[in-house]
Chain A
Amino acid sequence: MLLIECPYCGRRPEIEFHHGGEAHIARPEDPDALSDEAWANYLYMRANTKGWRHERWMHAAGCRRWFNAIRHTVSNEILVTYEMGTETPPLPTVGD
């Protein structure tokens, strides 16, 4: 089981958390103006990176707040967790 650092509550076991998939997907500002393809792209198409990726977590059994993380999807190593709205840390470029 992973130990995940909630930015608000500290280090807690994985079962307290809800995984939220790829992070930093901006909701379209004017949905009515989108084509069906663009809407499908926003709703369904996701990076499914094999390696480091930005993703969202929610501390479901704790503060119930969303935050972001950089995790390696093969080793499961979590590099950093950070609050929503703060500056996005870059993905590591080595050690993939």
Chain B
Amino acid sequence: MTKFSIVSIARNALTHHENWPRQWRNPDPKPSYDVVIVGGGGHGLGTAYYLAKEHGVSNVAVLEKNWLGGGNTGRNTTIVRSNYLWDESAHLYEHSLKLWEKLSQDLNFNVMFSQRGVINLAHNLQDVRASRRRLYANRLNGIDAEWLEPEQVKAFCPILNVSPDARYPVLGATLQRRAGVARHDAVAWGYARAADARGVDIIQGCEVTGIMREGNRVTGVDTTRGVIKTRKAAIVVAGDTSVLAGMAGLRLPIQSHPLQALVSDSIKPVLHTVVMSGAVHVYVSQSDKGELVIGSGIDALTAYGQRGSFHLIEGQMAALKELFPIFSRMRMMRAWAGTVDTCPDASPIVSKTPIDGFYINGGWGTGGFKSTPGSAWCFAHTIARDEPHPLNAPFSLDRFVSGRLIDEHGAAAVAH
């Protein structure tokens, strides 16, 4: 693997950057692997990386039906934060945020992590109380959190409309300064490159069509490029978790919904932070290219079509215009939708299953991107040791039987 450094950049500049080597191999699948990871998004590639790095398991294949990071990793709004309410979530997302803070150095790949802060607005008394409760919960868990009064919100984000005459007046906001955004593609590419360097086979254009079992144990996967034997199969396939689990005969508490986002024309820097509002339902940041990246909630119906409905965009734009009058004449450049797998408690499943050697990481709902490093790190531990790490043990499948649900509908900040 080429080490990226000022020297390598200077050396390649001399040949007009035309001689950079490929950053990962494109191998054919071997007949068998110690671990097969289904899904080549950020979580799957990260899992492969941490399996090799932390657990010495490098005879690993990552199978991706399309191309790397072309699923939800390539179509999200890139927000990273850890201000969740319950201890279980706070610990998991904070672990993830700490990994984010060192990810570029760890991978020797610039994931463009930018700690520009995230503010969550409160628009009514109930919002204020719930936000402050979450803020104190964050602090008790050692997570940075601040309360901003309306005039402080205005000082922090001058283009925001905090007028008391607004339809949804801003009564305050929580601020997490360590939160921010990262470059979604770079996360997939960085993990792919680093995993490949440690011997992981990344196989693109390889769709899994069946999970093979002998009794209660996984023996391999059937794919469009032939049978691959393995004693450990792990599915990390946001959007298709139910479909893949169904191949192994497993029913899950997951429903899949469209989630869409859109991007404006590029403009000069006007928004230096991330603004979220669960009540009026929009969240927005400005990319390094200058586009506004705008998201809102999921479509209410379950669907796999990767198409969102226009009435959601209409509501989202109305909220955006109310909060930021300056954006009222912005032109939107493109919109896209992905499929998100949601659980009844708005928390993910990172877990072993009743089938030996079959592991599931999914159901992240609308918040999978922020958790990429932490999720992958915990999932690698779960696969390598065949038992969950204490950080992801509360997110096991058996919580739906025990009743120990982790209700994060409030902190998820997006209706699902």
Contact = CB atoms under 8 A, between A and B. Distances in A.
A73 B305 CA distance: 7
A37 B251 CA distance: 12
Contact of A19 (B301, B310, B311, B400): B301
B256 interface: yes
Q: Is the interface of A mostly helix, strand, loop or mixed?
A: mixed
Contacts of A94: none
Given A1-B309, A14-B311, A37-B401, A45 B304 contact: no
Interface residues of B, number: 25
Q: Is the interface of B mostly helix, strand, loop or mixed?
A: loop
A50 B309 CA distance: 18
Contacts of B251: 41, 45-47
Interface residues of A, number: 24
B303 A48 contact: no
A44 to B, nearest CB: 4
Interface in A71-92: 71, 73-76
Contacts of B256: 48, 50, 73
A76 B303 contact: yes
B242 interface: yes
B303 A74 contact: yes
B344 interface: yes
B252 interface: yes
Contact of B302 (A19, A37, A43, A75): A19
A71 to B, nearest CB: 8
B304 A21 contact: no
Interface in B210-263: 240, 242-243, 251-256
Contact of B311 (A1, A46, A74): A1
A21 B252 contact: no
Interface in B71-124: none
Interface string A58-74: 00000000000001011
Contact of A14 (B240, B254, B309): B309
B311 A15 contact: yes
Contacts of B300: 18-19
A32 interface: no
Contacts of A75: 305
Interface of A: 1-2, 14-15, 18-19, 21, 36-37, 40-41, 43-48, 50, 55, 71, 73-76
Given A14-B311, A18-B300, A50-B256, 11 more contacts: A14-B301, A19-B300, A21-B255, A36-B401, A44-B253, A44-B344, A44-B400, A45-B400, A48-B256, A73-B256, A74-B305
